[in-house]
Amino acid sequence: MASIPSRLRFFGPHNLEEIPQVSRLSADDLVSMKAVSAVLPFRVNEYVVNHLIDWERVPEDPMFQLTFPQRGMLSKSDHDYMVDLVRSGAPRLELRAAARPIQMRLNPHPAGQLSLNVPMEGGERLPGIQHKYRETVLLFPTPGQTCHSYCSYCFRWAQFVGVEDLKFASKEPQRLAAYIRGKPDVSDVLFTGGDPMVMKTHVLRRYVEPLLDIEHVATIRIGTKSLAYWPHRFVHDDDADDLLRLFEEIRERGKQIALMGHYSHWVELETDVARQAIERVRSAGAVVRTQAPLIRHVNDDPEVWTRMWRTQVRLGAVPYYMFVERDTGPSDYFSVPLAGGLAIYESAYRRVSGLGRTARGPSMSCTPGKILVDGVAEVAGEKVFALKMLQGRDPEWVNRIAFAKYDAEARWIDDLQPAFGASEFFWDADPECSTPLRREPTSKGRIPLKVVGSSDRDDGTTPLRRVGS
């Protein structure tokens, strides 16, 4: 392959036109992209532009859909309103102000994702930690709260456009480690973001090192899209070798290191540098496990998953999860009904060997837990979804089955009704998960926005529970 620029160069709303390939697009499309990117985050790097997007296939190209603003991401009226503003040459501040109410209508805090499950310490919320499932703690290091490119559907979008601030993240590695030290059931620590791999190795090391002498921590996981969006991180970046050395040290200290690689499409696995990255990471003793949400216009095709899982297995990576796109941001444009997602999963699952069937899905990360849509069945004359709880707020729920009435259009757990005349799902008995959380459809089927502003959640006294969905 021709020489690949290994220096990270970003494009965003302000230098969109500096992307040479963008000149192929019509003036209308360009204005539209500017309008959408005033509302939703947009950032893409040169590697993605030059090596992952097939510009001959734009706009349908899946990587273009994944990273560039699309007009369908806003409602027609919001889109046209923003387009008019852009056309009139409105200054940046005015665009920002106009964007805010649109952003607030896009459910910026799904399932209370940032405010639930944050542990308390001495009457104060401990930022930078989410501890929902007994065995696994999520860590959000402050310097890891951005990404090498932004996925257009991403549910973390609120923090990228400043609707959500970073108060939930932590600058204090020692404090995070102290919490984990006090929780002997925790075997896994999962670094997440944003993307923790945007951190320099020496910064990541500050967060990792204090964990290495905690006996009960068995595995350090890093959730990352960098293997796809910026594989140079592991091959050519200045501190790539230091990073591999850190992985080796983790192994030498008797712990496992797993990269939870976010791969949306097999295209991301085709470049030489993407393959070198996996090879190098594996030779440093890390396991690569792979996961991604199912996204309309990007990977809503069983062929894509089949080839992706096959390629991953061939490269020594382990398929892990297929997620359901959550109910936030531009989800109308990107979401796939549960029934359709299940059909895609099953079709791909049937076409890979057992080594590719380690991928579980489609799985929803919702308030009660991770809920798998395990299949469609007909029981006693009623067509139902068999649901299975893979992870639960209550550890006793794990692996329990529930049945929901089949609904070809349902897209999320709160679109589902219990089957067989039951009045609730088993998790509904938990006050944190009960019916008030269920979505009450408005005329548009959108979630009524109950909570706004980050100020509500920063006082440390009333962690908001029933947010969004």
Binding site for ligand PLP (CB under 6 A): 130, 132-133, 136, 138, 190, 365, 370, 390-391
- Tokens at 152, concatenated: 């257009």
Q: Is 2 helix (H, G, I), strand (E, B) or coil?
A: coil
Q: For residues 196 and 369, which CB has a smaller minimum distance to ligand SF4 in the complex?
A: 196
195 binds, among ligand SF4, ligand PLP, none (CB under 5 to 8 A by kind): ligand SF4
147 binds, among ligand SF4, ligand PLP, none (CB under 5 to 8 A by kind): ligand SF4
CB of 370 to ligand PLP, least distance (A): 6
Q: Taking phi first (over 0 means left), then psi (-120 to 50 degrees means alpha), and beta for anything else, what does residue 146 get? A: beta
CB of 140 to ligand SF4, least distance (A): 11
Closest CA to 428 of 364, 338, 368, 384: 368
Q: For residues 132 and 307, which CB has a smaller minimum distance to ligand PLP in the complex?
A: 132
Would you tell me which residues interact with ligand SF4 (CB under 6 A)? 147, 150-151, 154, 156, 193-195, 225, 262
Question: What whole-number distance in Å separates Cα of residue 433 and Cα of residue 428?
Answer: 5
Q: For residues 109 and 262, which CB has a smaller minimum distance to ligand SF4 in the complex?
A: 262
Question: What whole-number distance in Å separates Cα of residue 144 and Cα of residue 169?
Answer: 9
Q: For residues 258 and 419, which CB has a smaller minimum distance to ligand PLP in the complex?
A: 258
CB of 82 to ligand PLP, least distance (A): 33
> What DSSP string describes 290-348?
EEEEE-TTTT-SHHHHHHHHHHHHHTT-EEEEEEEPPSSSSHHHH---HHHHHHHHHHH
130 binds, among ligand SF4, ligand PLP, none (CB under 5 to 8 A by kind): ligand PLP
Closest CA to 27 of 67, 96, 87, 95: 87
CB of 130 to ligand PLP, least distance (A): 5
CB of 325 to ligand PLP, least distance (A): 14
State which amino acid sits at residue 306: T
CB of 262 to ligand SF4, least distance (A): 6
Q: For residues 329 and 369, which CB has a smaller minimum distance to ligand PLP in the complex?
A: 369
* Contacts of 465 by beta carbon, 8 Å cutoff, 6+ apart: 112, 115, 116, 432
391 binds, among ligand SF4, ligand PLP, none (CB under 5 to 8 A by kind): ligand PLP
363 binds, among ligand SF4, ligand PLP, none (CB under 5 to 8 A by kind): none
Question: What whole-number distance in Å separates Cα of residue 269 and Cα of residue 316?
Answer: 12
CB of 160 to ligand SF4, least distance (A): 7
- Tokens at 282, concatenated: 């594996």
Q: For residues 62 and 368, which CB has a smaller minimum distance to ligand PLP in the complex?
A: 368
CB of 99 within 8 A of CB of 13?
no
Q: For residues 112 and 231, which CB has a smaller minimum distance to ligand PLP in the complex?
A: 112
Question: What whole-number distance in Å separates Cα of residue 290 and Cα of residue 423?
Answer: 37
